[in-house]
Structure 1
Amino acid sequence: MHWLSILGIGLASNLDNLGIGFSFGTRRIKIPIQSNLLIAALSTLSAYIAIRCGHLIATYSSPTFANAIGGSMIMAIGLWAIIKSLMATSRRKASNAQKSHRADQVGEVIITWKETWTLGIALSLNCIASGLGAGVTGVSAWGTTISVGAFSIITIALGSSLGHQISNTVVGKYSNAIGGIILICIGIYEIII
């Protein structure tokens, strides 16, 4: 198994989650464990389906060709993430100004279920493209799916809890670009190996 690719895809697919966690953390909006698990479940499901589709594509082509195609797809996704990051700096500030929240019994603001579903679906779309490319290269569907789910939970929780201190750093502002660079490296690795 390509453990480096499995871990890298799991991390790269969820770096947006880190930024989302930061944005909620800086605004003191709590993302409870139930919401975090729902977001992770949606990402996991979409990654698994995409990887299985990639495996089907790989069955009808040679391993070298499949690795070249899958690696190229992962690199293209990484390049697109970098371009998107460069173009979306100003839009990110506007999109972080979400208004629909509710307060719990002690007055703490928490994310609504509607926001959780919307966020989960949006973030799961990140996993489809990289999952398809990963599936074509032949990585383990279960391993990658578990990696995607675990990193989803970790990045949202970490981003939310550290939002105050590091929301204005390079990691928070350029999560798309960092994820893109990781995906390009994974793509190159898959083509070479």
Structure 2
Amino acid sequence: MGTVIFTFLFVLAVSIDSFGIGCVLGMQGVRIRLGGMLLIAMLSGVVFCISSYCGHFLLRFISPEAAERIGALALIMIGAYFLWQYFRKPNDAGGDEPWLHPERILNDPLAADVDRSGGIVGKEVWLLGAALSLDTVGAGVSGAFVGISPFLTAVLITISTCLMLFTGVTCGAKWNEKAASVSILPGVLLIIIGLIKLA
């Protein structure tokens, strides 16, 4: 049961950012087709799976005890970075070039609608997918170090990301802007997971 809860918290931490972004887009009337949501979710799952298997490859050169501590510390650092990204002002992210800086979409989701058409379509789907997948790279490697199953977790992240994004976009128009504050949770959850593993 401990492993199940741990995996659930990990998947929630990695995918819940999609809910916050979906809320912001929904509140502004920006739509994403179901096919686009599925593509974004699959991209997150694939990137996590690849990075996680890379982490498992590195385990050949590190003892299990050291790997778990490194993974836990990495999760704490990633969580702290997420919090920094959340509290950072959007105009600190750099120039108006979302194609060159997809990470700025995590602070300003509306930037994914590059052509201001009111919908995330075509290349914009890949842009939003790339932004959300950035979260999964470090989480994949550190997750492997703390014993997370690569393939199963990738599948769960794919499903969860799609559900979170769909729910966020659907509910965003009905909620106020405070709903987007759920984006603070990924950093908090990853720090908690890292501290649990260090204990």
TM-score (norm 2): 0.83
Superposition misfits of 4+ residues, deviation over 4 angstroms: 89-95
* Cα distance change on mapping 1:30 and 1:4 into 2, 3 Å: same
Does the C-alpha gap of structure 1 residues 22 and 5 become closer, same or farther in structure 2, counting only changes over 3 Å? same
Structure 2 distance, partners of 1:93, 1:144, is 26
The match for 1:96 is: 110
Query: 1:75: Cα distance to partner?
Result: 0.7
> Equivalent residue for 2:172?
163
The Cα offsets for residues 19-56 of structure 1, whole Å up to 9 and x where unpaired, read as 22112211222211100010011101100011111112
CA distance in 1, matches of 2:44, 2:33: 17
C-alpha contact 1:166 1:172 (8 A) present in aligned 2 = no
Aligned partners of 1:157 and 1:189: how far apart in 2?
31
Aligned with 1:178 (options 178, 181, 185): 185
Q: Distance in 2 between matches of 1:62 and 1:94?
A: 40
5+ residue gaps, structure 1, are 103-108
Q: Are the counterparts in 1 of residues 86 and 107 from structure 2 also a CA contact under 8 Å?
A: no
Check conservation: 1:9, 1:148, Cα contact below 8 A: no
Q: Deviations over 1:50-94 (max 9, x none)?
A: 111111222322222111000110110001111111113566776
More moved, 68-77 vs 93-102: 93-102
Query: 1:106 — aligned with what?
Result: none
Is the CA contact (8 Å cut-off) linking 2:24 and 2:177 kept in structure 1? no
CA distance in 1, matches of 2:168, 2:182: 13
What is the aligned-residue RMSD (CA, Å)?
A: 2.1
Matched, 1:66 2:81: no
Aligned: 1:187 with 2:194: yes
- Aligned partners of 2:22, 2:57: CA distance in 1, in Å? 34
Deviation, 1:110, is 3.4
Give the equivalent residue in structure 1 for 2:130: 121
Aligned-pair identity (%): 26
Please report the TM-score for the alignment, with normalisation by the length of structure 1. Answer: 0.86
Aligned residues: 184
